[in-house]
Amino acid sequence: MTLIGTIIYVPPKDDEPGKFVPIAGEASSTLVTSLLDGTGANRVLIFNCDETDKCLDPGFKSFALPASKALRPRGAALIDGMVQAIHDDTPITDAQKELLQVASLPLYKILTVQAAYGRGMPTDDRETLAEIASVDLLFAVLDRIVSEAGRSMSSFIGADEAKIAVWQGQVNVVRQALADRQANTHLRVSAIMQIIEKTAFIENVLATQMSPGMAAALDWSRGVQSRALTH
């Protein structure tokens, strides 16, 4: 609710008609940064229900998110785990597969090629990949929340279309804030292109030199990323 806002319907009373109360989402860079990186020594304000049943009069409460539970460190840990699985020739976990499904880059292919090339040397771009993947993951979470909220609103017979339009506009503001975080500078775009170009070059170099196990991992990555990009 803090990120995308909501609309609260207050039922009519004897002397008052029912009403819709839109609550704006918080699209500030402070909240987005906190979700991606954690709050550190600072805290952020989030909406807090006045009671667990109806939540008709939410207020604010101070909230701290440890870095260990933020999206970028979790994404980085999943990427590290995938790199280790590639080196060990072992399956990746369900959580790692879910990250591949939301990634906007051919993540597993990049990691496979760079792992084969680096042989454990610090030649990869995991920090940049973790930044991109964490924003992709936040987009996926936002889409899921918006979808659930949208279904609830569309099924409400007494819905106020004007208020719903206001809420949808707020959601679009949040989406734009995330998009700005994902590609707000030419350097970010350049970094993405460099990763892809370097991966393609390395893949060509390795084409005749890879072990059967590494080649199989690369072939599997092509299939996974292809399916992910079509959904």
Which residues are within 8 A (CB) of 107 and not within 5 positions of it... i.e. 6 or more apart?
Answer: 79, 82, 99, 100, 129, 133, 225
| Residue 113 near residue 125 (C-beta atoms within 8 A) | no
CA distances from residue 111 to 70, 105, 201 in whole angstroms, order as listed: 22, 11, 14
29 or 180: whose pLDDT is higher?
Answer: 180
- What pLDDT band is residue 78 in, cutting at 50, 70 and 90? very high
Element (H, E) at 38: none
CA–CA separation, 161 and 163 (whole Å) = 5
pLDDT in tens, 102-124: 888 888 888 887 777 654 444 55
| Residue 146 near residue 4 (C-beta atoms within 8 A) | yes
CA–CA separation, 209 and 71 (whole Å) = 36
| Residue 101 near residue 231 (C-beta atoms within 8 A) | yes
CA–CA separation, 20 and 38 (whole Å) = 33
13 or 99: whose pLDDT is higher?
Answer: 99
Q: What is the DSSP letter of 69?
A: G
Angle subtended by helix axes 71-88 and 29-37, to nearest 10: 30
Instruction: Say yes or no to pLDDT of 29 above 70.
Output: no
Where are the domains positioned within the chain?
Answer: 68-231
CA–CA separation, 106 and 140 (whole Å) = 16
Residue 97: predicted pLDDT = 93
